[in-house]
Chains A and B, each alone.
Chain A
Amino acid sequence: MTPQELRAIANHVRRRDLQAVYEAGAGHIGGELSVTDILTALYFQTMRIDPSAPMAPERDRLVLSKGHTALALYIVLSERGFIPKDEIATFLKPHSRLNGHPNRVKVPGVETNTGPLGHGLPVGVGMAKAAKLNGQNWRTFVITGDGEMQEGSNWEAIMSAAQFKLDNLTLIIDHNRLQQGARLAETNDLAPFAPKLAAFGWAVEEIDGHDMEAICEALAPHTVTPGKPKCIVANTNKGQGISFMSDNVAWHHKVPNQEQYNQAMAELEEAAR
């Protein structure tokens, strides 16, 4: 798939996300818009997956550790054929399997239940270790938020991934510089991430997390350093694609009103042209 095609899908995912948040009256739109390009590249370009066989043993795995942005994952899964597209309309509705955080027991394509932060990377380490033990070459990808990296469990996992030489594991940090209540820098400033991960024995690459060519290249198998887990520090914007949400801490989980919705949709439609 060409970068242009991937960008068109990502734009569609953003519009569907905006509409679903607006209709549901809830969601984490800021972080969904920051991670959308990464999810699109993974599901439509990088990962070896088959929507008709979501439990195939040698599938690539994606763990969305920032589980509060589940809606973006649901939409990408629906666009990729794991769940029906019209099911997105049930997001957060009573008894919908699409609740605020992804559930592997109910939603095909979800690998582990996330929500509490700092859970995905340890599970990803276990997946990658399993592939090594099995002698299989499937890959494991984990996406965390940058604020989420404040959870100590991530650093436990970072140590063990290096110790186990898990070059089949890729961590993508969605570095949008904002956490729920304030800027990362004003809260517990872990940035810059690259030297910290490198000091723990990881191969690190820093990219523009909205540049589709750069994302695809960083995720490509040939960029893996043998014997080292890989971290991609993806510099992103919370609320990417919508001017008044972009890099604005107010839009962590705010819901647009009618006027804001119209403007946001107009901006995304303009970008699609």
Chain B
Amino acid sequence: MNAPFETARLHDCRDAFATTLEALAAENSDIVAVCNDSVGSSKLGGFKDRFPDRLVNVGIAEQNMVGVGAGLANGGKVPFVCAAAPFLTGRALEQIKADIAYSLANVKLVGISSGMAYGELGPTHHSIEDFAWIRALPNIPVIAPADRVETAAAVRWAAQHDGPCFLRLSRVGVPDLLPETFAFEPGKADLLNEGDDVTIIANGVLSHRALQASLILKKQGIAARVLNMSTVRPIDAGLIRQAAEETGAIVTCEEHTIFGGLGSAVAEVVVETRPVPMKFLGVPGIFAPTGSANFLLDEFGMSPDGIASAAADLVGKKHNRQ
């Protein structure tokens, strides 16, 4: 697997997050970082060195961490609340609902090491429910950048956006996908590959695998459109509808349970606008077995070959219906 990228340089998007946040903090003294003892895993060491007073470490206490973020925002600060995604979203979900979403607090929630990035540490440390949990709440854009360029762009957008958001970052290395000139716009998907036979929609660490799958499909004579749908809410309904109309079949790939995540969000648009056959790739409603993040993605059918195979099957189903 990973053939086209075997020699490509892989990047940990946390580095782009940290570098961008530090640059923004140097320009805007109201930017603060809040964390739960996660200075290292959130890559906040550089921030701490440069702005020691503006790193608010509440210790291992996620409910307090999110509430403190809301209070800091009330006091005029621009807090980036950073923690491992499963604990940020799972442990503090009611604080995210009441203190952030309902209160419209200007807090940037940054879920680190999301999805199955913690691999072998097991399902307690996997964050494969966060799209569903957070997108069920009003007022919080849910964003899973695909590479370092999009990560940096999303962090810059978050800093100037007056309101809450949830950035879902990984620690799994990914190659560059988007040009350095890329401008992030929430709710807008990006076309990574043109095609009319089937559409593959992915985000986060899966977008590059989706693109690889399209290369495999091309050899089979299938032209797969690939959309990088980094914003899960608000979802890019226009491009989804267009994909349904023009390609007639949609495969979704997500590092998330298939219940309530990206695939569900896409399906909500498809069934209301232009119903077409779909295939949902993701974690199939189970706790994952032991394995690295990349192993588990392969295990759940999201190797480039697995995605290509699912897409080819769906093209067959589409033709059988016609």
Contacts and interface: CB of A to CB of B under 8 A. Distances in A.
A104 B102 CA distance: 9
Q: How large is the interface on B (under 10, 10 to 19, 20 to 34, 35 or more residues)?
A: 20 to 34
B58 A127 contact: no
B137 interface: no
Given A104-B103, A133-B32, A123 B71 contact: yes
Between B67, B73, B77, B102, the greatest number of chain A beta carbons within 10 A of the residue's beta carbon is seen for: B67
B72 interface: yes
B98 interface: yes
Interface string B94-112: 1100110011110000000
A112 B64 contact: no
Nearest to B92: A153
A210 interface: no
A196 to B, nearest CB: 17
Contacts of B72: 126-127, 129-130, 133
B132 to A, nearest CB: 20
Contacts of A114: 98
A156 B74 contact: no
Given A105-B103, A122-B63, A160 B74 contact: no
B61 A130 contact: no
A177 interface: no
B70 interface: yes
Between B54, B69, B95, B98, the greatest number of chain A beta carbons within 10 A of the residue's beta carbon is seen for: B98
A157 B64 contact: yes
A170 B156 CA distance: 36
Contacts of A227: none
Given A125-B71, A127-B71, A112 B105 contact: yes
B54 A126 contact: no
Given A156-B63, A157-B64, A127 B99 contact: no
Given A118-B63, A134-B76, A124 B71 contact: yes
**Dominant SS at the B interface?**
helix
Contacts of A121: 67
Contacts of A126: 67-75, 79
B53 interface: yes
Contacts of A116: 94, 98
Interface of B: 32, 53-54, 56, 58-59, 61, 63-77, 79, 94-95, 98-99, 102-105
Given A112-B74, A122-B66, A131-B75, 17 more contacts: A61-B74, A103-B102, A112-B71, A116-B98, A119-B67, A121-B67, A123-B71, A126-B73, A126-B79, A129-B68, A130-B72, A133-B77, A152-B63, A153-B63, A156-B58, A157-B64, A157-B67
30 contacts: A111-B74, A112-B71, A112-B74, A112-B99, A112-B103, A113-B102, A115-B98, A119-B94, A119-B95, A121-B67, A123-B70, A125-B71, A126-B68, A126-B74, A127-B75, A130-B72, A130-B77, A133-B72, A134-B77, A140-B71, A153-B63, A153-B64, A153-B67, A153-B95, A156-B58, A156-B61, A157-B64, A159-B64, A160-B58, A160-B61
